[in-house]
Amino acid sequence: MFQKILIANRGEIACRVIKTARRMGIKTVAVYSDADKDALHVEMADEAVRIGPAASAQSYLVAERIVQACRDTGAQAVHPGYGFLSERESFAQVLAAAGVTFIGPNPQAIAAMGDKIESKKLAVKAGVTTVPGFVGEIKDASHAKQIASDIGYPVMVKASAGGGGKGLRIVHNEKEIVQAIQSSQNEARASFGDDRLFVEKFVTEPRHIEIQVLGDKHGNVIYLNERECSIQRRHQKVIEEAPSPFLDEKTRQAMGEQAVALAKAVGYDSAGTVEFIVDRDRNFYFLEMNTRLQVEHPVTELITGLDLVELMIRIAAEEPLPISQSDVKIHGWAVEARIYAEDPYRGFLPSTGRLSRYRPPAEGRRGEILVRNDTGVYEGGEISIYYDPMIAKLCTHGLSRDAAVTAMGEALDEFYIEGINHNIPFLAAIMHNERFRQGRLSTGFIAEEFPDGFHGRSVDETTLRRFAAIATAVKLVRTERASRVSGQLNGALVSSRSFVVALSEQEVEVRDASLKGEEFRAQIEGKEYSGRIVWRIGQKILRLEDEGGVAAIKVSREPGGYRLTHAGIEVTASVRVPAIARLARLMPQKAPPDTSKFLLCPMPGLVVSINVSEGSEVKAGETLAVVEAMKMENVLTAERDGIVKKINVGKGDSLALDDVILEFA
């Protein structure tokens, strides 16, 4: 077994590998760019080596610097994590030439499966069902148009190298294909250094279901069941689970056997994932093979009891697989939610900055529920524009799907983050979505369930009463403390027990409110309410127990009131005595500034291109500019017809949120 390994990655996956290596008694070496010098993985590792500037193309993607770090530290093996160099054949070869073991598949398997065009050809040869399309590299836009015309729209334009939704666009008509090719090539070049593309048919009502495979260097290959990864946004997975609520045992076995056949055809000898598109009739088609550890590997670990990182390390050390196919079972159900630094209320635009508060739920067992949180950040750390916006992967495991999903909703309610925008309210809303609870999933789920974007869950009567009670109780606690300030008559400020609670745009009447210890009682809209409220001033999570059950509610102080968040619902609450409430209704509303004549930058990022010039006429839907943030290109289009009056930025400029890109006449 290796004495020391280097992790050629960053963030949560680097921390994840370090944890397993530490448990195995293996010393670890972290590598870091200038942007990551204070990162968590650097602190966790036994040693750390700087490998270059912030841009990944000058640090994490430079194989020679990784090899030099191995020489400098005496690392015997390298775990690549996912992304960066993990699926690059040349990286495995460079390591081998330096006498360093690659903790992953052999270079030939990476070459065969890492290229989506070649992998489709091999899949056909191995008897694996594939999606209709053009098996080969597209030459240019006209070639792509011809292919799309032959197989019929909608089609997918995809990067031949890489994964993770990078370099992938769905094209519904010929007008969209030129911009799709340009953006896909740019993303693929930036992420993988390879801008080759291909086109294939987009399967309607598809599910994205993948099979985890595991092979050793002695010819043994098994599959570790499936993961359902259909909840995606912009082709980036958001929520995963294992097993799939859709597959029956017959389909699971057929998919598993095809995945194993493909792996054996290329002599696969590590952890890998064969991805399939599955239609509503359970017909499945090979999509691609990822020759690395997947982001969503924890859900497989939770239902099998296996540590995939440990098995990868042992396989690299030439140990045979410790289990056979008959040993692989399904124990319970696991769900993973990816917590991203993005604003779900503004079209999921990336968010960067400092994590002024980072308080995840406690990990470990809670009766029959297990909570796990894989992360690479800490309170006070920075979310950079240079890398993926992932903050953490929150996982729950229960005996049933319903138990795991319910537990995920509760764990998300306990997750508190401040300083940046994040998608926790959106994830929580999905956990309470009836269609999701029923397991009726597809890759179009988010677009279909939130066609106008995410605006939070609507407040039902039960939640309205709960929020009114919580806001009133918090007000009573704070007022009672204020009454004990030196020089005040004890209790003088707590003269009223009746309030009007303004919850965003709704008003709720609360009478005879009292809080004795943790017991709260009141009349809310004329109906009796009682509940147990556990909260102290300064705490970010309030715990409530009432007739609706037990709940965790985030409480934040806001000017004039509080922000309350629970189960994907977020409201601003102001608690006033009736006389003040009457006056508040008379206050004029401040209108937001008119920005209709400006194109504002929707997130911090770099200008990739300005697609118009001063004085040019533009039509609604026309591309105005492209801004890159966190390795993803964001195309900014005109909302209506107009004339460009002034352009304020140029290609390569770094922009902050709401910077003015251009002005209209």
Query: Cα separation of 217 and 315, whole Å?
Result: 7
Give the SS3 label for residue 642.
strand
DSSP state letter for 185? H
In sequence order, what are the residues at sequence separation of 6 or more whose Cβ sits closer than 8 angstroms to the Cβ of residue 168? Answer: 156, 157, 158, 159, 184, 235
288 is a catalytic site residue: yes
The torsion angles phi and psi of 124, rounded to 5 degrees, stand at -60, -45
350: tokens are 């990336």
Nearest residue to 331 (alpha-carbon basis) of 305, 307, 367, 370: 305
8 A C-beta contact, residue 53 and residue 42: no
Active-site hit among 241, 288, 570, 633: 288
N- to C-terminal Cα separation, the chain: 68
8 A C-beta contact, residue 417 and residue 357: yes
8 A C-beta contact, residue 169 and residue 156: yes
CB atoms within 10 A of CB 595: 10
CB atoms within 10 A of CB 127: 11
**Helix %, strand %, coil % of the chain (to 5):** 30, 35, 40
Query: Cα separation of 644 and 373, whole Å?
Result: 48
Query: Cα separation of 625 and 612, whole Å?
Result: 8
| Locus of tokens 């080969």 | 136
8 A C-beta contact, residue 140 and residue 134: no
Which positions are catalytic?
288
